[in-house]
Amino acid sequence: MFGLLRQKRISLSWLMLTRQPVRLLIALAGISFAGILMFMQFGFRDGLFEASVTVHRLFDADLVLISPSSVNSVQMEGFPRRRLVQTLADSRVQGISPVHWGLMLWRNPESRGTRSLLALGYNPDDPVFLDPDFETENDQLKLKGRVLFDELSRPEFGPIPEEYREGKLVETEIAGNRVRVAGLVKIGTSFGADGNLVTGTETFLDLMPNKSPGSIEVGLIRLYDDADVDKTKQSLQKLLPGDVRVLTKQEFIDFEQDHWRSGTSIGFIFTLGAAMGFVVGCVIVYQVLYSDVTDHLPEYATLMAMGYPLGQLLAVVIREGFYLAVMGYLPAYLAGEGLYWLVRDATRLPVLMTPERAITVLVMIFSMCLASSVLAMRKLADADPAEIF
């Protein structure tokens, strides 16, 4: 029997950790709770940031013109359309697409209540979006009063996708004007809008009569394949007056996300929530390991008196922390996946479990358990074996 035990080499750390199952379960519950809290805080934060650029990512453009006065997608200011036309003077520019951008009040055809959504107006003949589904529906926008509704919009706008697929005539009002849903597209909710629609330029200006026909909010620029994007950007910025700003597509995305990340308290709040989860986990693991060290202090002191170095005893406690981290992370990960699904279903926000976030939380949990192990061993390092006995 002793030979069998020697072959199995049961870890001393594991035996000490499982000696009190109730304490172990409480510790795992606490670590899992801390992990779930970190998953949710990071998920909400990154999901909101990603949702803020759903439209930005769909644009077929290498460079983007916006007004320097624009703050974010909710506060897009206009600039002269002729600035976009001026970019055609650069031989590297292949094509341009002016885009009108604004919030409109959509009337729910069933409840008759109104709700704000994001509307985009453009020339249906222009390749504005990367998604080929838009191209198949663009011909419908050549008719005045026709719009394409985002089927990923929140249900508060009405059962538009369901009724359209059933072949029903779906009509409603925007700013007192009658519009008809001529098709469905997939865009997704964003931080500033719970729904979206796209329409032709003529219809857009009818729905928003206060908009100047000579002013646009976004100018899309497509370059030839062999053109250097950064050099073309610098050249156009020198060519154009200061009433426009030239951005690469990625800079346009960063412009939006940076506003919500640093221009508001959202990023700080969710990051602080994740940090609090980390602190809570540290306290729980520290209490468990500190109690374990205290309970076995005479045994540890005996080993020290026999000549075992402190580092070797510290390794025992660190392995306990390692076991706690592994066993606590797994249920936290599974719970995080389930909660992300619930959030996506309820809010339509792109809250997904990414490899980067899974690894980040795993590293935080391991760091949390390692730090707690080192702190718990301070009692043993300061103890005198002669005083203990």
Q: Is the domain of 213 the same as that of 95?
A: yes
Cβ–Cβ under 8 Å, residues 268 and 274: no
Average pLDDT over the chain reads 84
Residue ending a domain, choose from 176, 211, 243: 243
Q: How far apart are CA 249 and CA 258, in angstroms?
A: 14
The amino acid sitting at 239 is: L
Token look-up 């970190």 returns 38
Q: Is the domain of 300 the same as that of 331?
A: yes
Q: Is the domain of 110 the same as that of 164?
A: yes
Stretch 45-69: mean pLDDT, rounded? 88
- Percentage of the chain surpassing pLDDT 70? 90
Cβ–Cβ under 8 Å, residues 49 and 261: yes
Q: Rounded to two decimals, what is the model's pTM?
A: 0.75
Q: Using CB atoms within 10 A of its CB, is residue 198 exposed (0-12), middle (13-18) or buried (19+)? A: buried
Q: Is the domain of 231 the same as that of 345?
A: no
Residue ending a domain, choose from 173, 208, 243: 243
Q: What is the pLDDT of residue 283?
A: 81
Residue 92 resides in a domain: yes
Residue 226 resides in a domain: yes
Q: Is the domain of 204 the same as that of 132?
A: yes
Cβ–Cβ under 8 Å, residues 35 and 172: no
Q: What is the pLDDT of residue 4?
A: 38
Using alpha carbons, select from 65, 104, 102 the residue that is nearest to residue 81: 65
Q: How far apart are CA 385 and CA 369, in angstroms?
A: 26
Judged against a pLDDT cut of 80, whether residue 303 lies above it is answered with no
Cβ–Cβ under 8 Å, residues 285 and 30: yes
* Kind and range of the H or E run holding 279: helix 266-295
Q: Is the domain of 87 the same as that of 193?
A: yes
Q: What is the pLDDT of residue 286?
A: 78
Q: How far apart are CA 286 and CA 361, in angstroms?
A: 18
Q: Is the domain of 78 the same as that of 139?
A: yes
Q: What is the pLDDT of residue 383?
A: 57
Q: Is the domain of 40 the same as that of 173?
A: no
Q: Is the domain of 297 the same as that of 353?
A: yes
pLDDT band at 384 (very low <50, low <70, confident <90, very high): low
Q: Is the domain of 154 the same as that of 281?
A: no
The DSSP string of 136-174 is HHGGGGGSTTEEEEETTS-GGG-SHHHHHHTT---EEEE
Angle at 202 between CA 200 and CA 203, to 5 degrees: 70
Strand partners, 114: 107
Q: Is the domain of 220 the same as that of 147?
A: yes
Range(s) of the domain holding residue 77: 68-243
Compute the Cα dihedral for 160, 161, 165, 166 and give only its sign: negative
Q: What is the pLDDT of residue 86?
A: 94
Residue 369 resides in a domain: yes
Structural domain total, the chain = 2
pLDDT (tens digit, 9 = 90+) per residue, 169-197? 999 998 888 999 999 998 888 767 788 99
Q: Is the domain of 113 the same as that of 215?
A: yes
